[in-house]
Amino acid sequence: MKVLVTGGAGYIGSHTALSLLASGHEVVLLDNLRRGHRKAAEIVVNIAGSRGAFVEADVGDANAVAAALTDHGVEAVIHFAALAYVGESVELPLQYWRANLAGSLGLLEAMDRCGVSRLVASSTCSTYGCPDAEFIPIAESCRQDPVNPYGESKLAVERMVRAHAAMKTRSGTPFAFALLRYFNVAGCDPQGRLGEDHEPETHLVPSAILAALGRRPPLQVFGRDWDTHDGTCVRDYVHVTDLAEAHIAVLEKLNPSSPMVFNIGTGRGDSVLEVIKACERATGRTVPCVDAPRRAGDPGLLIADARKIAAELGWRARFSSMDETCSHAAQWFTANPRGYR
């Protein structure tokens, strides 16, 4: 199958492109390079050879996306292109609504115009907001009540995809889609080909590793008085390669009569301090830390109930150890001291 990967030069998009290639598919990466990296796209295309291509364009430009779909004979789309910083979304809400909602609108318009009717769209556990403890681990049926513009924009995208699919069904043209709600994504390609390079970097694993390697200031620990086993926040960390493979499993089972909604996680949590210790073991160095106040809107505990995708598709996370996840990340950061630059 020939698959368009929007945001294909980004962290998750590029890793998913590698998994698509490994599964025998062809890839067309589309990215405006605002947050993605040309070098990441080049690495994927070089590995792909005749089975890969890169298109520099904005996903919200329906004409450019339609041209990519047509020129490359695309049969399905995996949609990652978005802005994804919670804090930034509070400071710049209009940018998030434009990038995430208007961008997805442009994609759907282009797909409709070109008759492409298979879509796997990335969403987020941020659409659940801050569920009470009784709802954790979080199942797909949990109430969606986002508390920031990032989560709100992603929930709006989910609703737009559903509305489009319903319209296509009424018109007699099947449209198959899946919505995948990610929890915390971490790690890098186990073979060291691709990594994680954000600006600014806010994710815990790369931030801890970079602090250990002396490439950024001490890591801030936002609160040590949470109602958890060691007082720090607990999150469900899924390896980026596992996440990528979940997309392949979903893509190959798309069915217009059965839309799919899945949480993607491991079903277990690691605290901030546990992740820091894993990063120290991976680098052989101490992670310098400073205490900081809690961040507004941060829940103390977020863990996925990932049983649904396991039961329906047989997908389970292979890399369930934080030591393994952090080791893969440390391998890439050690070999690429300036990231993709």
**Per-residue model confidence as pLDDT tens digits over 233-287:** 999 999 999 999 999 999 999 999 999 999 999 999 999 999 999 999 999 999 9
Kindly report the pTM of this predicted structure. Answer: 0.97
Establish whether the linkage from the previous residue to 174 is cis, with ω within 30° of 0: no
The answer to whether residue 150 is catalytic is yes
What's residue 282's pLDDT?
Answer: 98
The reply to whether 229 and 99 lie within a common domain is no
The answer on pLDDT for 217 being more than 80 is yes
Place 320 in a pLDDT band, splitting at 50, 70 and 90.
confident
Identify the weakest region by mean pLDDT among 21-25, 84-88, 146-150, 185-189. Answer: 84-88
Identify the weakest region by mean pLDDT among 66-70, 109-113, 158-162, 297-301. Answer: 297-301
Asked if residue 63 is part of any domain, the answer here is yes
The reply to whether 220 and 144 lie within a common domain is no
With contact defined as beta carbons under 8 Å apart, do 215 and 286 qualify? no
What's residue 3's pLDDT?
Answer: 98
What's residue 255's pLDDT?
Answer: 95
The reply to whether 105 and 143 lie within a common domain is yes
The number of distinct structural domains making up the chain is 2
| Average pLDDT for the chain | 96
The reply to whether 159 and 74 lie within a common domain is yes
Alpha helices in the chain (DSSP H): 11-22, 38-48, 62-71, 86-91, 93-96, 103-114, 149-170, 204-212, 240-251, 272-283, 307-313, 322-335
What's residue 147's pLDDT?
Answer: 92
Asked if residue 220 is part of any domain, the answer here is yes
Model pLDDT for residues 72-121, shown as the tens digit of each residue: 999 999 999 999 998 899 999 999 999 999 999 999 999 999 999 999 99
Q: Pick from 246, 264, 282: which residue ends a domain? A: 264
The reply to whether 274 and 166 lie within a common domain is no
User: What share of the chain in percent tops pLDDT 90?
Assistant: 94
Q: Tell me 193's DSSP state.
A: S
Place 298 in a pLDDT band, splitting at 50, 70 and 90.
confident
What's residue 104's pLDDT?
Answer: 98
Fill in the amino acid letter for 101: L
With contact defined as beta carbons under 8 Å apart, do 143 and 131 qualify? yes
The reply to whether 36 and 168 lie within a common domain is yes
The arithmetic mean of pLDDT across residues 9-23, rounded, is 98
The reply to whether 108 and 176 lie within a common domain is yes
Please name the helix (run of DSSP H) or strand (run of DSSP E) that holds residue 341, with its range, or none: none
Q: Which residue has the higher pLDDT, 300 or 323?
A: 323
Give me the catalytic one of 11, 128, 150, 340.
150
Range of the domain at 132: 2-186+238-264
The reply to whether 118 and 244 lie within a common domain is yes
CATH number at residue 294: 3.90.25.10
Give which of 340, 163, 316 is closest to 249, Cα–Cα: 316
d(CA 200, CA 207): 10
The reply to whether 134 and 251 lie within a common domain is yes
What's residue 122's pLDDT?
Answer: 98
Fill in the amino acid letter for 181: R
Asked if residue 92 is part of any domain, the answer here is yes
The reply to whether 247 and 272 lie within a common domain is no
What's residue 274's pLDDT?
Answer: 98
d(CA 215, CA 338): 9
Distances (CA, A) of 170 to 105, 106, 256: 19, 21, 12
Place 49 in a pLDDT band, splitting at 50, 70 and 90.
very high
Name the 3-class secondary structure at 74: coil
Asked if residue 321 is part of any domain, the answer here is yes
The reply to whether 60 and 169 lie within a common domain is yes
d(CA 212, CA 66): 45
Asked if residue 24 is part of any domain, the answer here is yes
The reply to whether 296 and 158 lie within a common domain is no
Asked if residue 192 is part of any domain, the answer here is no
What's residue 208's pLDDT?
Answer: 98
CATH number at residue 34: 3.40.50.720
Q: Pick from 264, 279, 306: which residue ends a domain? A: 264
Place 200 in a pLDDT band, splitting at 50, 70 and 90.
confident
Asked if residue 109 is part of any domain, the answer here is yes
Asked if residue 273 is part of any domain, the answer here is yes
Distances (CA, A) of 228 to 132, 154, 224, 301: 14, 28, 9, 7
Place 341 in a pLDDT band, splitting at 50, 70 and 90.
confident
